[in-house]
Amino acid sequence: MSVTLKINGQTHTVDADEDTPLLWVLRDHLGMTGTKYGCGIAQCGACTVHLDGAAARSCQIPVSALAGAEVTTIEGLSQNSDHPLQKVWVENNVPQCGYCQTGMIMAASALLKQVPHPTDAEIDMAVDNICRCGTYPRVRAAIHQAAEKLSS
Amino acid sequence: MGKLESVSRRSFLISTTVVGGGFAIGLQWTPSQAAGETAKDEPWAKAAAGSEFTPWISIAPDSTVTVRCAMPEIGNGVFTQSAMTVAEELHVDWSKIKVEYAPPLRNFLEKSVYTEAGGMMGYFSGRSTTAERIQLGLQLGAGARERLKAAAAAQWKVPVAEITTANSILTHTASGRTLKYGEVAAKAATVKLDKEPTPKPRSEWTLLGKATPSKLQNPAVVNGTAVYGMDIRLPGMVYAALRQAPAQGGSIKSLDASIARKMPGVLAVVTVDPKESAGFSDPKLQAPFGLEMCTAQNAVAVIATHYWQARKALDAVRIEWDDGAGAQWKTTETMNEAARALLDSKDLKVEKTEGDISSIDKQDKIIEGFYHTPYCDQAPMEPLNGTALVTPDSVEVWHPSQHSQQAFMVAAHETGLSPEKVVFHQTYVGGGFGRRVFGDDVRMVVAIARKYPGKPVHVIWSREESMRQGRYRAIVATNLRTGLDKTGYPVAVHGKYAIGSVGGTAGFHDTPYAFNKNFKVEGTKVPFNILSGAYRGPGYNSHAFITETFVDECAHAAGIDPLTYRLKLLEGYSDLGWVMCLKEAASKAGWGKSLPKGMGMGIAISNWAGNGKPQAGTTVATVATVEVSKAGKLKIHQLDVAFDTGGFLNRDAVVTEMVGGSIFGLNMALNENLTVRNGRVVEGNYDEYPMLRMGDTPTKINIHFGGLSGHERFCEPGEPPAGVAGPAVGNAIFAATGKRIRSMPFRLHDISWT
Ligand code: FES
Ligand code: FES
């Protein structure tokens, strides 16, 4: 079927089977590979995007359910890779292999929109993505630091 | 695809000239660009580089320095380390340095240019800080710098000695003239020096050991433009989903793809048969890690226009499997029992014997323990995948390998083509931990692509397929036995093990503890159908746990503090790093302080890669501070980690690996467990194979530098911490509850107390 999607402020029309998860539409139909596949069952968060501003795991959303929704992916998070989270991430050398990191950043940016100064517990709840490399302590510290930057 | 194909030939040429072939970092690639860059042409572009000083280093007219790296960047920072080492002597503007992968084809054609320093291991994981590699990097930097100075001197007609270099600029102070590196690079690259310069001594280093740059690829990681194996997009590319025989070693009994073939987007349904691997064109050819660990598995793959179509159609293929010999392994318990039973066998192979162990039975206090570790999957976040384009006389591969030289040779072996016909492009790697070393994955990719020639085929293992078709950390069953003398210390130790089947006993046979003078280690392999391989700290990840739990049991049986006990066992050992690490971790953790009931501290120490030699490998000591509720709920409050890598070259890189390795070790010990039913691995995804999340991770993982001996080596930090985190926690649980844990994963143990 042909679906019209609004992604990062642009309209795209794709021809995809209706049960195709948004994840694969992004990656394989549209070539937007910043959103990653890790598990396909809502466990890992590597595929996190924003759906109407809130974090969502794109492996769980069939493309047919997206009419009228606004999707933001890592490619559209900022104009010049200059979202405070992205900057702090680089400054603090957060990534190891990096594969899970775009999902982490998307989950964190949705959180900071809702809760400008999250507690550790709020971060743990909202950013429960899997990182096999074990970047968690730095991810948490970087979210706090970005929260400071955003509010100052 | 239309968009990709419209990348014009002209822009493709421009981009390859910038890239210089292969993957360069720091380029802000849009996903569609990822296509052209690597699709055609030589894997290295001599023409544009023009200013190639050696196969390792080029300087472009805009002063960009490109350093080639023979190791895959799997998250351990080898790119950044390679750049830092060269920069130490080349005095570059850090924002102008890039790293790209050294192409294996060029290595093959040009007499091992990339492996002569560092040998076969040249392409493997984190070997960027060995003495040979550091020397090479410094020499490259110094050689390029002196050539740039010579070229500038000739242009200005002044003595070379009057020229200084800093920040990618050559300066003649007396006349106030300057040149950028790029302005003389072309000439400099042709300069013949009478003698190669000698790099400065390490006491004069200003970057190495001092600077802590963020990884070079981080800007590309955080905006999603870093290209992993999964992100390869090529003109005309098709997707494949595969299913290998669920009981490893099994085969296809019957296949009905009639429904699948009619499904939307499906282009082909193909099978892989290990008997169809073509073999080397020349019998003298070899793969650095051999071919035994990377045989093909019987498999079915669906090839379709889009991945989701391939995946759905794969589920519609009706396959009847012959589970083969693996079917005999009805349950995990039958396998565990088989391993354990072998410990009583008379035919164990003696791995090591020192002194005399007969004194054990003469002691009053005999300590004996049976220890067990299960199958674990490396479970890197990027599932297995790869892309290959096979034609009758060529194969081109894009792959997230942990050993590009191995993968290159495996591609040649699978197709039967001469290696000269193989182009291998290394991508970024979303985690390795040993899973992508031997090349079974690249073989399957090429085997599938062979069945659909002429098109790039991007093969994706689902997470389930990735997890169930592993090369696992093997099952280990070990029995340790000692007798304690009147003072409470072991007179001798006898260890027996059964491993099913890949892996050794690092962390045990190489122990420096005093009992190694009367010591016997013997064991055997168990021929299970489940395939095993390398997993962060192979062998060691089981045996550090086993040894350090056993030593803790001995200490408690003797009524001696576990730290004091270990220090005593190390008395007289010539590598002081062990004692320094123990003392550092213990003092920083507040070892010995009184804790409320239900809390406890545990300590563990081991060494990875030293193979029993003093001043070798990396020693790590970890102290865990834990709390166990009466109901048996575990909370790890804190880890204090001290290590001896000798010295370090990038402090922050060492900290990240120590933290990451510790978390990996915690997850292994607490959570990881694969089970088997009828020869098939049961668990397929993270819901069944739990992973620590941010909220489960100790809030304090403190990495301390006071264990460093200052020895001249710079050993690796990635694998060593993974071995000791688990036993430190297990020993802490004992201190808190009196319950001894002798097998992984800990989550299966009842640690409640009253
Ligand atoms: S891929 Fe969507 S949560 Fe893992
Ligand atoms: S950085 Fe490798 S999985 Fe998170």
Residue B596 burial (CB < 10 Å; 0-12/13-18/19+)? exposed
**Average per-residue pLDDT in chain B?**
92
**Cα of B606 from ligand 2 centre, angstroms:** 25
Percentage with pLDDT > 90 across chain B? 88
Higher local confidence (pLDDT), B15 or B124: B124
Residue B381 to residue A28, Cβ atoms within 8 A: no
CA distances to A84, B582, B608 from B509, in Å: 50, 20, 12
What is the distance between the alpha carbons of residues B469 and B532, in angstroms, rounded to a whole number? 10
Among residues 25-64 of chain B, which lie with CB inside 8 Å of chain A? 28, 31-32, 34
Over 60: is that where the pLDDT of B50 sits? no
Per-residue pLDDT averaged across B336-354, rounded?
96
Over 50: is that where the pLDDT of B73 sits? yes
Residue B306 to residue A125, Cβ atoms within 8 A: no
Over 70: is that where the pLDDT of B628 sits? yes
Write out the E strands in chain A: 2-7, 10-15, 48-51, 54-57, 70-72
Residue A24 to residue B228, Cβ atoms within 8 A: no
Closest CA to B124 of B359, B377, B386, B438: B438
Choose, out of A26, A75, A92, A93, the residue to mutate when testing the contact with B (most B CBs < 10 Å): A93
Tally Cβ neighbours within 10 Å of residue B60: 21
Over 90: is that where the pLDDT of B25 sits? no
Q: Which CATH class is domain B3-205?
A: alpha beta
A16 vs chain B: nearest CA distance in angstroms?
9
Confirm whether pTM is higher than 0.90. Answer: yes
Contacts of B219 in chain A (CB under 8 A): 81, 90
Contacts of B309 in chain A (CB under 8 A): 17
pLDDT in tens, B386-426: 999 999 999 999 999 999 999 999 999 999 999 999 999 99
CATH number of B333-375+472-748: 3.30.365.10
Q: Indicate which residue's Cα is closest to atom 2 of ligand 2.
A: A97
Residue-level pLDDT at B37: 31
Over 70: is that where the pLDDT of B125 sits? no
In which band, very low, low, confident or very high, does the pLDDT at B38 lie, cut at 50, 70 and 90?
very low
Query: Which residues does B152 contact at the CB level (< 8 Å), separation at least 6?
Result: B163, B170, B172, B179, B184, B188
Does the CB atom of residue A128 touch ligand 1 within 6 A?
Answer: no
Buried b (16+ CB within 10 A) or exposed e, B195-221: eebebeeeeebebbbebbbbbbbbbbb
Structure tokens at B73: 């960047």
Residue B227 to residue A95, Cβ atoms within 8 A: no
Over 90: is that where the pLDDT of A142 sits? yes
Pocket test for ligand 2, best of A101, A104, A138 (most atoms within 8 A of CB): A101
In which band, very low, low, confident or very high, does the pLDDT at A1 lie, cut at 50, 70 and 90?
confident
Does the CB atom of residue A98 touch ligand 2 within 6 A?
Answer: yes
What domains lie within chain A, and their CATH numbers?
Answer: 2-77 (3.10.20.30), 84-151 (1.10.150.120)
Residue A93 to residue B230, Cβ atoms within 8 A: no
Ligand nearest to the CA of A40: 1
Minimum Cα–Cα distance from A120: chain B residue: B695
Residue-level pLDDT at B6: 29
Chains A and B: how many Cβ contacts under 8 Å?
A: 199
Please compute Rg for chain A using Cα positions. Answer: 15
CB of B211 within 8 Å of any CB in chain A? no
Choose, out of A136, A140, A145, the residue to mutate when testing the contact with B (most B CBs < 10 Å): A136
Minimum Cα–Cα distance from A129: chain B residue: B693
Q: In this complex, which of A39, A133, A139 lies closest to B686 when CB atoms are compared?
A: A39
Minimum Cα–Cα distance from A100: chain B residue: B381
Residue-level pLDDT at A107: 98
Residue A36 to residue B656, Cβ atoms within 8 A: no
Query: Which fold would CATH assign to domain B229-325+384-460?
Result: Aldehyde Oxidoreductase; domain 4 (3.30.365)
Give me the residue spans of the domains in chain B. 3-205, 229-325+384-460, 333-375+472-748
Residue-level pLDDT at B126: 54
**Cα of B430 from ligand 2 centre, angstroms:** 7
Contacts of A101 in chain B (CB under 8 A): 221-222
Residue-level pLDDT at B31: 23
CB of A64 within 8 Å of any CB in chain B? no
Residue B382 to residue A97, Cβ atoms within 8 A: yes
Over 80: is that where the pLDDT of B107 sits? yes
**Cα of A23 from ligand 1 centre, angstroms:** 9
Q: Indicate which residue's Cα is closest to atom 3 of ligand 2.
A: A131
Over 80: is that where the pLDDT of B271 sits? yes
Residue B230 to residue A102, Cβ atoms within 8 A: no
Residue B415 burial (CB < 10 Å; 0-12/13-18/19+)? buried
CB of A31 within 8 Å of any CB in chain B? yes
Q: What is the DSSP letter of B373?
A: E
Minimum Cα–Cα distance from A62: chain B residue: B308
Count Cα atoms within 13 angstroms, Cβ side, for A77: 33
Higher local confidence (pLDDT), B718 or B22: B718
Minimum Cα–Cα distance from B225: chain A residue: A34
Closest CA to B479 of B528, B536, B570, B549: B549
**Cα of B665 from ligand 2 centre, angstroms:** 15
B557 vs chain A: nearest CA distance in angstroms?
35
Q: Indicate which residue's Cα is closest to atom 4 of ligand 2.
A: A131
Does the CB atom of residue A143 touch ligand 2 within 6 A?
Answer: no
Lowest mean pLDDT among B2-16, B350-364, B383-397, B579-593: B2-16
CB of A20 within 8 Å of any CB in chain B? yes
Minimum Cα–Cα distance from A32: chain B residue: B31
What is the distance between the alpha carbons of residues B31 and B443, in angstroms, rounded to a whole number? 26
Tally Cβ neighbours within 10 Å of residue B520: 21
Identify whether the C-beta of residue B38 lies closer than 8 Å to the C-beta of residue B398: yes
β-strand pairing of A48-51 with A54-57: antiparallel
Residue-level pLDDT at B276: 98
Among residues 102-141 of chain A, which lie with CB inside 8 Å of chain B? 102, 105, 120-121, 123-125, 127-140
pLDDT in tens, B144-188: 999 999 999 999 999 999 999 999 999 999 999 999 999 999 999
Per-residue pLDDT averaged across B566-589, rounded?
98
pLDDT in tens, B457-492: 999 999 999 999 999 999 999 999 999 999 999 999
Q: Give me the helix-helix angle, B540-558 and B651-670, nearest 10°.
A: 70
Is B341 in a helix, a strand, or coil?
A: helix
Residue B685 to residue A41, Cβ atoms within 8 A: yes
Q: Give me the helix-helix angle, B577-589 and B562-569, nearest 10°.
A: 170
A152 vs chain B: nearest CA distance in angstroms?
22
Minimum Cα–Cα distance from B235: chain A residue: A31
Establish whether domains B3-205 and B333-375+472-748 are of one fold.
yes
pLDDT in tens, A56-108: 999 999 999 998 899 999 999 999 999 999 999 999 999 999 999 999 999 99
Does the CB atom of residue A149 touch ligand 2 within 6 A?
Answer: no
Among residues 312-341 of chain B, which lie with CB inside 8 Å of chain A? 312
Residue-level pLDDT at B327: 97
β-strand pairing of A2-7 with B318-322: unpaired
Q: Where are the alpha helices (DSSP H) in B463-576?
A: 463-468, 540-558, 562-569
In which band, very low, low, confident or very high, does the pLDDT at B27 lie, cut at 50, 70 and 90?
very low
What does the H/E/C string look like for B665-689?
HHHHHHCCCECEECCEECCCCCCCC
Per-residue pLDDT averaged across A129-135, rounded?
98
Write out the E strands in B345-449: 349-354, 365-373, 385-391, 394-399, 422-426
Closest CA to B435 of B467, B475, B476, B408: B467
